[in-house]
């Protein structure tokens, strides 16, 4: 999420452009000149026009959508878009229709009369020829002006349609109910915003030809009838016969488009899941099974694309040969009816067919296909917008003004609730709560008992099946998993509230953040990166808590805020934040820290979704509940006054003690790098990489030869018509006869060859392009999956996803068609120039000069368009990042009623993207317009030269020159734009290929033989190990210690100590200096997959993936069901899985969201049991679980890993007090390493101080555990 949005201040020149400037695109000239001189930067973008702003368009569409969605269940969005944009589209279509019909009527008439002037016995005078030449030139210029203005207007409208849909999709994503969130994925929403809505810009711009095509064909048929008589109907009949085929192909393409979209959804979803869990995937060595999943998803996607491309190639082929075949049939029938072929007949028919050709064989079919594709895309967006929303009355925030509320209140009576409506079981049952006083209420219970669900019920996030819920008051919420976005610390805390200096500083103090901010490079203005990646786990938790309490609310919901911090910080937060700062507020505290329960006013005990007890601490102690037994294990802490005295004596060490203990706290600076804007032209290596991806040199040669052969035979057919009519004219002059049969045979052969080569070269090319797409995706994904963690730290997920969604989509769907167009038009130009040179070789000179002029104009244009296209791609990434962050923080966003703020930020981000896109399409259209005007001047010169120079041409020659150059007129400017568009879109290839430069993990092959059972004992030796996350960010310094086989070692330390960094070094997630030896094998010299597969880990943040339970436990399918069931049984999840009808095939939702965090942690423990390695690492594995589950995990580990080496990083000191040894770290070095009992004898030692700060009773308990463990070990 980007909150540091740069405001674009430059006014758009279009706003002040006068009619002449707007008509001839003169307002773009200063932009081209300025950008050519100094290049384009993001600050050079213009302010978005008010009519194009995301907020304006989103508001308008939302109002209409609300109205029509109730009446049109299937086509509500279609109707809404028509209501908003239909008038614009209709007006543009009418203008285009009038202009094109006028051109269709006038242009063939002028060609007819100009060609007739050069025939024998012509009745056309020279003066009339001048008039027809002038009219022809005028109509050519008029057509160019209308064409580009209309297309610019269409592009603006299509852009507005896309922007309005995107805005509506984002707004909807913030309203989705939990049921809807379980039915969709982030990947699906990203695909909607990346690929589906892009169909407006890519396909719908030719919408009007679905109506113009048939009308213009009828007009053209009439004109052909006037020229050829009945013979015209033969050619038109052939044309009409193919229309059903085209419509059938369009229908099939739309079906394939829908299938492809669903398969792209799945691939993007998988990519999102992999990127979010990449560190865990690497630690588990699961890269290969996930690569197989991506490969399978890509294969399914490619299968649809391949069929799509095959049908598209047939469509392209039809466009190339149908009109020439129609002309062939018409002329043959014309001759068969006893008529004589003349130049005016042939070339009037040719010019009419040339006009109809793109309209009916390409533009009509493309527009039909576009309607089908846009229909599919709009339907997909409609389906998303139709998902169930969270009821507005569930938004508990600000239901009443704080001034009106007499007292806050939480009341529930006999409430049953579930996460999703389609779920069979309730997560909460028979809930009865009545809290109406400003006091502190604790919620406790075992893992999966429904504690977090109860808070979400208060927030209105759950589906209530029956019962009554009343929430009165302003609510604030701190989620269990800290939700942070890419912005400054201050922005994360303030969120959507105004800055109050006194309150802000007080909040920092009570949340123990003052020292943290002092250490950050820019204090609270430090950008913390996506998901707060530059912070420690505890820092994230405390900022998350600070945001909650900074809001002045009536009710505070705190979901286990003390689990991610050590006992010292937990004590500080409980005393100063929860007890003092919130003393006059209603506070609901979900906690596993039982030592604080005696300080609460009421305790609610949950078990299996039911409230089993609701009483005070004293009442629970007296009750028969097993609660008292649990309390004995976690005794209450010392009197705060006594602790305060102890703190006074340790002022010097206060710096570290107000912190938590997680590894990434080792970062001092944010690691995320801003996406770089590449400058200059697309390098030849980018093109070479693309072409090489499609095949070797021989394949490229075959494809190129097919293109050249196709153009050669096509141009040969055009030349033969000229030869034929000239032959007829010569025969008429000399009273000779010609062998018409031979003429027909040759013409038939050329036409048949045109059909075969048109189909053949298109099929060849699209097969080639498909191979390029497959190869590029496969190669780049392999690089990304093998990239080091440094790469993922510096590149936010949204940026990588943008490249694997939008950029891959462009490579798949867009570049092949642009490249095909450009190549065909280039060869068409070459063919036209050669054919014209056969009439007059001097035509080569101006043609060559024209190409040189175009080349230099293109260079000037590309300086703007290419850079803007790059900026457009870069400006798209934050939109997806913002969306992803919003989905993951949806509960917090709704609890803070921050939807309006986030919508404003999204709209601002989209406006930045629209600013770049608007400049791009304006520049492209201006360039196309000026190219066409220059073409028109060139053609005018050709026409005038034919009229004013001596009359020594045959009519066939004049007709050939006119039809070739006039036919080339639109194609040439289109080809120049496509040439530039190719370079612009090759930025997607460039951006994708940039990922190939990712720093890879070393591919090491062991230089020594590794025993088959290695590691057999689990001895670990760190020898002078140092490690850095990035340059100038050293984190571990010369670690040198040994862990003996089977030892149970705890790792503790203060903030920035480097605890989890030590684990990262063990797994070699980053480059290290020195060596780490396990059972005599230097792991810095062996294959990383071998190393990581031999170490099990239970991570602090448990990661589950969408799929089945079995796939989450054993993705390689290496183990039997019995082993998996045994592991689930040992973590007490067997019954829960067996209760599901699917068993091990039970569904796991995205991110494991249908399990509590504690249950996810147990599943991770089951993974470790299944792998049964000699080395086990636990990274804060019990931080988010209740004491019972903590005890269960410890017991399970003792039973299953008795002979294994176990390394435990812990905040809860009791979990490591019976360890064989404790490794104490400080500032990336080992400062103490011995049995905990021995370490406690050093009263001034760091470990001893950490134990003492827990309080007298707990400290005494910890001393006893350590002493007992020491004596047992000594006796053993």
DSSP string, 65-76: HHHHTTT-TTTH
pLDDT digits (tens, 9 = 90+) for 267-299: 888 888 888 888 888 988 888 888 888 999 999
pLDDT at residue 162 greater than cutoff 60: yes
- Please name every residue paired with 964 in a beta bridge, in sequence order, or none if there are none: none
Closest CA to 990 of 815, 1218, 730, 1212: 815
CB distance 168 to 61 below 8 Å: yes
- Work out the pLDDT band at 93, boundaries 50, 70, 90: very high
Distance CA 431, CA 453 (A): 11
Q: Report DSSP state, residue 1007.
A: S
Q: Report DSSP state, residue 1214.
A: G
Distance CA 863, CA 836 (A): 33
Angle among Cα 967, 968, 970 to the nearest 5 degrees reads 90
700 and 662, same domain (yes or no): no
- Whether residue 1241 lies inside any domain: the answer is no
The reported pLDDT for the residue numbered 653 is 31
- Whether residue 117 lies inside any domain: the answer is yes
Per the structure, the complete domain to which residue 649 belongs is given by 437-462+473-666
The reported pLDDT for the residue numbered 1008 is 62
pLDDT at residue 87 greater than cutoff 90: yes
Neighbouring CB atoms inside 10 A of 825's CB total 21
645 and 707, same domain (yes or no): no
360 and 231, same domain (yes or no): yes
CATH of the domain at 648: 3.40.50.300
The domain tally of the chain equals 3
653 and 711, same domain (yes or no): no
Considering 286-295, 384-393, 862-871, the range whose residues carry the highest mean pLDDT is 286-295
Distance CA 1146, CA 1139 (A): 10
Three-class SS string for 126-149?
A: HHHHHHHHHHHHHHHHHHHHHHHH
Q: Name the domain boundary from 1135, 1151, 1172.
A: 1172
- Work out the pLDDT band at 942, boundaries 50, 70, 90: confident
255 and 322, same domain (yes or no): yes
Considering 183-197, 487-501, 1254-1268, the range whose residues carry the highest mean pLDDT is 487-501
CB distance 872 to 916 below 8 Å: yes
pLDDT at residue 404 greater than cutoff 70: no
CB distance 24 to 6 below 8 Å: no
Question: If residue 1242 lies in a helix (H) or strand (E), which one and from where to where?
Answer: none
Distance CA 942, CA 966 (A): 10
Between 967 and 782, the higher pLDDT residue: 782
Q: Report DSSP state, residue 738.
A: -
- How many residues in the chain? 1276
Distance CA 162, CA 471 (A): 39
- Whether residue 895 lies inside any domain: the answer is yes
Distance CA 1021, CA 852 (A): 69
564, 1042, 1199, 1213 from 1235: Cα distances, Å: 25, 14, 21, 13
Q: Report DSSP state, residue 362.
A: I
232, 324, 598, 603, 740 from 330: Cα distances, Å: 5, 10, 98, 92, 15
Q: Where are the alpha helices (DSSP H) in 735-807?
A: 740-785, 789-794, 797-802
CATH of the domain at 17: 1.20.1560.10
Task: Give just the sign of the alpha carbon dihedral 209, 211, 215, 218.
Answer: positive
CB distance 14 to 152 below 8 Å: no
Specify the residue for token string 């600070």: 546
pLDDT digits (tens, 9 = 90+) for 344-361: 888 888 888 888 877 877
Between 403 and 124, the higher pLDDT residue: 124
708 and 662, same domain (yes or no): no
The reported pLDDT for the residue numbered 163 is 95
Distance CA 1265, CA 1270 (A): 9
872 and 939, same domain (yes or no): yes
- Whether residue 418 lies inside any domain: the answer is no
The reported pLDDT for the residue numbered 595 is 78
Closest CA to 984 of 201, 209, 46, 29: 201
Between 1176 and 449, the higher pLDDT residue: 1176
Three-class SS string for 1004-1020?
A: CCCCCCCCCCCCCCCCE
Considering 401-410, 461-470, 1248-1257, the range whose residues carry the highest mean pLDDT is 461-470
Considering 35-39, 662-666, 772-776, 832-836, the range whose residues carry the highest mean pLDDT is 772-776
- Please name every residue paired with 1028 in a beta bridge, in sequence order, or none if there are none: 1034
Query: Which segments of 436-548 are extended strands (E)?
Result: 440-445, 463-472, 475-478
The reported pLDDT for the residue numbered 803 is 87
Pairing of strands 1095-1098, 1175-1179: parallel
φ, ψ dihedrals at 677, nearest 5°: -95, 110
Distance CA 878, CA 1109 (A): 33
**Full-model pTM:** 0.72
pLDDT at residue 877 greater than cutoff 70: yes
From the number of C-beta atoms within 10 Å of its C-beta (0-12, 13-18, 19+), residue 431 rates as: buried
Q: For 567-571, 801-805, 826-830, 1162-1166, which range has the lowest pLDDT when averaged over its residues?
A: 567-571
182 and 304, same domain (yes or no): yes
974 and 912, same domain (yes or no): yes
Average pLDDT on 529-546 reads 80
Q: In angstroms, how far is CA 829 from the centroid of its own chain?
A: 39
- Whether residue 859 lies inside any domain: the answer is yes
- Whether residue 1239 lies inside any domain: the answer is no
654 and 710, same domain (yes or no): no
Task: Give just the sign of the alpha carbon dihedral 903, 905, 907, 910.
Answer: negative
CB distance 553 to 478 below 8 Å: no
- Work out the pLDDT band at 493, boundaries 50, 70, 90: very high
Q: Name the domain boundary from 1172, 1191, 1211.
A: 1172
- Work out the pLDDT band at 627, boundaries 50, 70, 90: low
Q: Name the domain boundary from 971, 997, 1023.
A: 997
Q: In angstroms, how far is CA 585 from the centroid of its own chain?
A: 41
Tokens matching residue 261:
């979209």
742 and 878, same domain (yes or no): yes
Distance CA 525, CA 422 (A): 44
pLDDT digits (tens, 9 = 90+) for 701-720: 999 999 999 999 998 988 88
From the number of C-beta atoms within 10 Å of its C-beta (0-12, 13-18, 19+), residue 737 rates as: exposed
- Whether residue 837 lies inside any domain: the answer is yes
The reported pLDDT for the residue numbered 637 is 43
Tokens matching residue 371:
């309607």
The reported pLDDT for the residue numbered 1031 is 66
The reported pLDDT for the residue numbered 1186 is 67
Considering 180-194, 211-225, 304-318, 654-668, the range whose residues carry the highest mean pLDDT is 211-225
865 and 923, same domain (yes or no): yes
pLDDT digits (tens, 9 = 90+) for 1125-1139: 988 888 888 888 887
Average of per-residue pLDDT values in the chain? 83
Distance CA 1275, CA 427 (A): 49
pLDDT at residue 401 greater than cutoff 60: no
DSSP string, 609-642: TEEEEEE-HHHHHHSSSTHHHHHHHT-----HHH
- Whether residue 1261 lies inside any domain: the answer is no
């Amino acid at each position: 999420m980007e909150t540091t949005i740069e405001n674009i201040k430059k006014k758009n020149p279009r706003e002040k452009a006068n009619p002449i400037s707007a008509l001839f695109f003169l307002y773009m000239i200063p932009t081209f000149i300025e950008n050519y001189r100094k290049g384009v930067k993001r600050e050079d973008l213009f302010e978005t026009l008010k009519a194009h702003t995301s907020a304006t368009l989103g508001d308008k569409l939302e109002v209409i959508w609300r109205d029509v969605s109730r009446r049109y269940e299937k086509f509500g969005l279609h109707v809404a878009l028509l209501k908003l944009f239909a008038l614009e589209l209709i007006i543009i279509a009418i203008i285009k229709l009038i202009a094109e019909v006028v051109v269709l009527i006038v242009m063939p008439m002028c060609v007819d009369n100009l060609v007739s002037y050069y025939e024998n016995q012509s009745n056309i005078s020279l003066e009339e020829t001048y008039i027809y030449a002038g009219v022809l030139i005028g109509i050519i210029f008029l057509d160019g002006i209308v064409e580009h203005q209309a297309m610019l207007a269409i592009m603006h409208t299509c852009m507005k349609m896309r922007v309005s849909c995107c805005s509506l999709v984002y707004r909807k994503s913030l309203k989705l109910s939990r049921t809807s969130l379980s039915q969709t994925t982030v990947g699906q929403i990203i695909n909607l915003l990346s690929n589906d809505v892009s169909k407006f810009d890519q396909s719908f711009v030719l919408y009007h030809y679905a109506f113009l095509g048939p009308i213009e064909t009828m007009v053209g048929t009439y004109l052909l009838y006037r020229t050829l008589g009945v013979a015209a109907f033969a050619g038109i009949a052939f044309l009409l016969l193919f229309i059903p085929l085209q419509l059938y192909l369009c229908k099939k393409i739309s079906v394939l488009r829908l299938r492809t979209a669903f398969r792209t959804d799945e691939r993007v979803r998988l990519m999102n899941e992999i990127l979010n869990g990449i560190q865990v995937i690497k630690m588990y060595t699961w890269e290969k099974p996930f690569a197989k999943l991506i490969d399978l998803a890509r294969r399914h996607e490619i299968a649809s694309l391949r069929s799509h491309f095959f049908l598209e190639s047939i469509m392209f082929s039809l466009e190339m040969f149908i009109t020439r075949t129609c002309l062939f049939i018409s002329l043959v029938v014309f001759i068969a009816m006893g008529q004589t072929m003349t130049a005016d007949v042939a070339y009037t028919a040719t010019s009419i067919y040339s006009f109809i050709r793109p309209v009916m064989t390409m533009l009509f079919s493309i527009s039909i296909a576009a309607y089908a594709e846009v229909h599919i895309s709009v339907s997909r967006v409609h389906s998303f917008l139709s998902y169930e929303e969270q009821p507005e009355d569930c938004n508990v925030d600000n239901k009443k003004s704080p001034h009106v509320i007499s007292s806050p209140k939480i009341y529930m009576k006999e409430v049953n609730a579930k996460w999703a409506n389609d779920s069979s079981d309730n997560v909460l049952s028979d809930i009865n709560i009545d809290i109406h006083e400003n006091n502190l209420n604790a919620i406790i219970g075992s893992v999966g008992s429904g504690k977090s669900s109860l808070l979400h019920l208060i927030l209105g996030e759950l589906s209530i099946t029956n019962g009554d819920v009343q929430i009165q008051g302003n609510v604030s919420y701190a989620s269990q998993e800290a939700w942070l976005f890419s912005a400054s610390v201050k922005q994360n805390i303030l969120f959507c509230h105004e800055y109050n200096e006194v309150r802000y500083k007080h909040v920092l103090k009570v949340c123990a953040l003052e020292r943290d901010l002092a250490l950050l490079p820019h204090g609270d203005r430090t950008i913390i990166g996506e998901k707060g990646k530059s912070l420690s786990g505890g820092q994230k938790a405390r900022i998350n808590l600070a945001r909650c309490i900074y809001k002045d609310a009536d009710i505070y919901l705190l979901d286990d805020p003390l689990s991610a911090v050590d006992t010292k910080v937990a004590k500080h937060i409980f005393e100063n934040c929860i007890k003092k700062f919130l003393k006059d507020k209603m506070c609901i505290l979900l906690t596993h820290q039982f030592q604080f329960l005696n300080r609460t006013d009421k305790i609610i005990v949950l078990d299996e979704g039911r409230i089993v007890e609701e009483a005070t601490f004293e009442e629970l102690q007296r009750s028969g509940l097993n609660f008292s037994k649990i309390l004995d294990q976690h005794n209450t802490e010392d009197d705060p006054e006594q602790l305060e005295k102890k703190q006074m004596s340790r002022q010097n060490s206060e710096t570290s003690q107000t912190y938590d203990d997680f590894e990434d706290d080792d970062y001092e600076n944010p690691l995320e790098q801003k996406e770089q804007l590449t400058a200059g032209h697309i390098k030849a290596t980018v093109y070479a990489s693309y072409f090489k991806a499609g095949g070797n040199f021989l394949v490229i040669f075959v494809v190129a030869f097919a293109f050249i052969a196709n153009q050669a035979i096509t141009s040969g057919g055009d030349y033969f018509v000229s030869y034929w009519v000239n032959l007829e004219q010569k025969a008429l002059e000399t009273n000779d006869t010609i062998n018409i049969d031979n003429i027909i045979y040759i013409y038939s052969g050329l036409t048949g060859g045109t059909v075969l080569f048109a189909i053949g070269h298109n099929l060849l090319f699209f097969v080639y392009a498909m191979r390029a797409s497959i190869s590029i995706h496969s190669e780049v994904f392999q690089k990304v999956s093998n990239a080091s963690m440094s790469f993922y730290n510096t590149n936010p997920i949204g940026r990588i996803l943008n490249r694997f969604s939008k950029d891959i989509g462009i490579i798949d769907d867009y570049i092949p068609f642009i490249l095909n167009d450009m190549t065909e038009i280039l060869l068409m130009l070459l063919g036209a120039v050669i054919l014209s040179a056969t009439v007059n070789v001097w035509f080569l000179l101006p043609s060559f000069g024209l190409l040189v002029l175009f080349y230099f104009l293109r260079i000037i244009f590309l300086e703007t368009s290419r850079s803007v296209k790059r900026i457009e791609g870069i400006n798209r990434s934050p939109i997806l990042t913002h969306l992803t962050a919003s989905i993951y923080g949806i509960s917090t966003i709704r609890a803070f009623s921050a939807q309006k703020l986030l919508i404003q930020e999204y709209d601002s981000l989209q406006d930045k993207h629209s600013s770049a896109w608007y400049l791009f399409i304006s520049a492209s259209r201006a360039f196309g317009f000026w190219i066409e005007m220059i073409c028109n001047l060139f053609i005018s010169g050709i026409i005038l030269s034919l009229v004013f120079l001596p009359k020594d041409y045959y009519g066939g020659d004049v007709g050939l020159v006119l039809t070739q150059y006039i036919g080339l007129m639109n194609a040439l400017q289109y080809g120049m734009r496509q040439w530039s568009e190719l370079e612009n879109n090759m930025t997607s290839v460039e951006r994708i290929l940039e990922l190939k430069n990712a720093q890879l993990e070393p591919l090491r092959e062991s230089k020594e033989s590794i025993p088959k059972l290695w590691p057999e004992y689990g001895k670990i030796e760190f020898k002078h190990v140092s490690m850095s996350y990035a340059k100038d960010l050293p984190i571990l310094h010369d670690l040198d210690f040994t862990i003996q086989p089977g030892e149970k070692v705890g790792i503790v330390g203060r903030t920035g100590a480097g605890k989890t960094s030590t684990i990262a070094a063990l797994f070699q997630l980053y480059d290290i200096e020195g060596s780490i030896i396990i059972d005599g094998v230097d792991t810095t010299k062996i294959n990383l997959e071998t190393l990581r597969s031999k170490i099990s880990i239970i991570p602090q943040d448990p990661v589950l993936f969408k799929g089945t339970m079995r796939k989450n436990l054993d993705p390689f399918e290496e183990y039997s069901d019995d082993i998996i069931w045994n592991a689930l049984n040992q973590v007490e999840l067997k019954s829960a899985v067996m209760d599901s009808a699917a068993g091990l095939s039970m569904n796991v939702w995205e991110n494991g969201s249908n399990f509590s965090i504690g249950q996810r942690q147990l599943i991770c423990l089951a993974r470790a049991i299944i792998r049964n390695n000699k080395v086990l690492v636990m990274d804060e594995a019990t931080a988010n679980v209740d004491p019972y589950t903590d005890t269960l995990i410890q017991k399970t580990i003792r039973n299953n890993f008795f002979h294994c080496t176990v390394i435990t990083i812990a905040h809860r000191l009791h979990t490591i007090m019976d360890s064989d040894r404790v490794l104490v770290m400080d500032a990336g070095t080992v400062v103490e390493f011995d049995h905990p009992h021995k370490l406690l004898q050093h009263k001034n030692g760091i470990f001893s101080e950490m134990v003492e700060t827990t309080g007298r009773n707990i400290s005494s308990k910890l001393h006893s555990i350590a002493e007992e463990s020491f004596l047992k070990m000594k006796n053993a």
